[in-house]
Amino acid sequence: MSSVEIYIQENAKNFEEQLFHFLRIPSVSTDSKHKGDVKKAAQFLIDQLSEIGLDKVTMHETDGHPIITAEKCPHEDRPTVLIYGHYDVQPSDPDELWKTPPFEPTVKEGRVYARGASDDKGQSFTHVKAIEAYMKTGTDLPVNVKFILEGEEEIGSPNLIPFIQANKELLKCDMVLISDTAMFGEDQPSITYGLRGLAYMEVHVTGPNRDLHSGVFGGAVENPANALAEIIAKLKDENGVIQIPGFYDDVEPMTVEMREAYKKLPFDEVGYKKDLNLKTVHGEKGYSTLERASARPSLDVNGLWSGYQGEGAKTVLPAKAGAKISMRLVPDQEPKKISKLFTDYVKSLAPDTLTVEVEEHHGGYPVVIDLNFYGLKAAAKAFEEVYNKDVLFAREGGSIPIVADFKKVLGVNSILMGFGQTKDALHSPNESFSLKDFHRGIQTSAKFFELLPEYSG
């Protein structure tokens, strides 16, 4: 074993304790009352990066939450890897559905349960520890490394793109390394080479100037909740096909080769349904579950509210109704175009008895990475050496908008080296991360840096 591998092995418990400390910080970026906690998480990373001996460790203030950069670039003739991660997390609510406190890491059956355990504190922390293993053992870094860690990913990274555009030289690199995705299955390493994009919308329907008695006014006044339900019902047909005019115009069609590749992936649909407690799956007619979840666009209501929500009955005709709706996009759909098509269609469905407003939130472009990219090949070899199993390449249904932005602004590909699993319950109560994969992630990251020069040509 190399000194780097020995260091990683001997410090496993210490790495876990540091991760647990990180997870205890409720760095919820969307909630202003946690602004201090987000800053505390940023300071934790500053201390970590400084302590292991990186150069130019800097906390950059923004109009929102801080962006952290650091680097160690000892080589003029070797690749430079920019490591991206985010230290902010989703809100923990509904807290009553958590079996353990969301911000008190709890280990059960080899998994640590806490908000942010997998998305993205646990995964991104693997690279910090891998670099530490090189630095603390006096082993020369095989490549140049840079870090960019942000605290606004969960709210659409509003300050990250301007920062990247203004700091191209600081962030100049040959590739970006990101760990914020899932492996295809337990003990089955996989590399995500494609991600769906996103267009996130909010619809508000307003009727009378106050909630009304449904007995006195029902039948005479248009109900915003009823109207919103009718609008939502017209967004898709019974076969799961999105009904927005022009929505599919730019969709990259699936080739025969792509569909054959999907058939070869070891997907257990019975287990998939059992894990979700579903009797059957549902989606766009004519496509498999995997295709629907990663290679085809989708539209889903993410939040829905109106009227009385308390216990028992209250007979009101609500004055307002609202919904949050996300659309996952595939190549070559553009978020702005899809947002406009959605807005136009929803307003065309609005009755003249009510006011309907559509708000556009954040979005992101879909991306597919060339499988021949040398960085992907080095990452695959690193996975294989640590996991002792061939790597699968798969597309994923989620969105990491920054991947497309890195390509657009810095002109580089991203390597999505995910160590999570689909059962990690991202964004849900009882989020968790396998500690076995946390440690294997550190090992894989270190091995990737070791192997990359061999593949760079």
Neighbour order of strands in the sheet with 320-329: 298-306, 320-329, 197-206, 355-364
**Residue 225 token pair:** 């909740």
**Residue 313 token pair:** 């009955």
**Residue 65 token pair:** 């939450």
Element at 36 (helix H, strand E): helix 35-51
As a dihedral over the C-alpha atoms of residue 430, residue 431, residue 437, residue 442, rounded to 10 degrees, the angle is -130
Q: How would you classify residue 138: left for phi > 0, otherwise alpha for psi between -120 and 50, otherwise beta?
A: left
Residue from 339, 118, 313 nearest 215 by CA: 313
For residue 74, how far is the Cα from the chain centroid? 32
**Residue 93 token pair:** 């609510």
Q: Which residues are within 8 A (CB) of 253 and not within 5 positions of it... i.e. 6 or more apart?
A: none
Question: H-type helices in 361-434, by residue range?
Answer: 374-387, 401-410
- Give the whole-angstrom CA distance, residue 236 versus residue 243: 5
The count of residues in the chain is 457
- Give the whole-angstrom CA distance, residue 436 versus residue 345: 48
Catalytically active residues are 88, 153
